[in-house]
Amino acid sequence: MDLDFYLSTMWSVLKALPLTLEIWFFGIAFGLIIATGLTWLRASGYRLGEYFTRAYVFIFRGSPLLVQLYLIYFGLSQFDFVRHSPILWPILRDPMYCTIVAMALNTAAYESEIFRGALRAVPVGQIEAAKAFGMSAFTRFRLVTLPIALRLALPAYSTEIILMTKATALASVVTIMEMMGTAQKIQHDTFRPIEVLTCAGVIYLLLNLSIARLFAWVEYRLSPHLRPPPEQSQQIKPVPEVL
Partner 1 sequence: MEFLSDLQAQFSTAYELLAAGWGVQLLWGIAWTLAVTVVSMLIGAVLGSLVAAAKLSHRGGLRFIGESYTTVFRGEPELLVIYLFYYGGTQVLTGVARSTGSIGSTDILNMPSFLGGVLAVGIISGAYQAEVFRGSFLAIHRGELEAARAYGMSAWLRFRLVIVPQVLRLAVPGLGNVWQLTIKDSALISVTGVAELMLTANKAARSTHHSLLFYTVAGILYLVMTSISTPIFEKAERYTSRSFTRPK
Cβ atoms 98, 23 nearer than 8 A: no
Identity of the amino acid at 202: V
Which H or E element spans position 194? helix 193-222
78 to 97: interface string for partner 1, x by CB under 8 A: xxxx----------------
Handedness of CA 21, 23, 25, 31 (dihedral sign): negative
152 to 191: interface string for partner 1, x by CB under 8 A: ----------x--xxxxxx-xx------x--xx--x---x
Helix (H, G, I), strand (E, B) or coil at 79: coil
| Binding range to partner 1, per CB under 8 A, among 27-35, 59-67, 97-105, 140-148 | 59-67
Give the C-alpha separation, 21 to 11, whole Å: 16
Please, which of residues 192-221 interact with partner 1 by CB under 8 A?
192-194, 197-198, 200-201, 204-205, 208-209
Characterise 134 by phi-psi region: left (phi > 0), alpha (psi -120 to 50), beta (else). left
Q: Is 151 in the site for partner 1 (CB under 8 A)?
A: no
What residues make contact with partner 1 under the rule CB under 8 A? 58-59, 62-68, 70-71, 74-81, 162, 165-170, 172-173, 180, 183-184, 187, 191-194, 197-198, 200-201, 204-205, 208-209
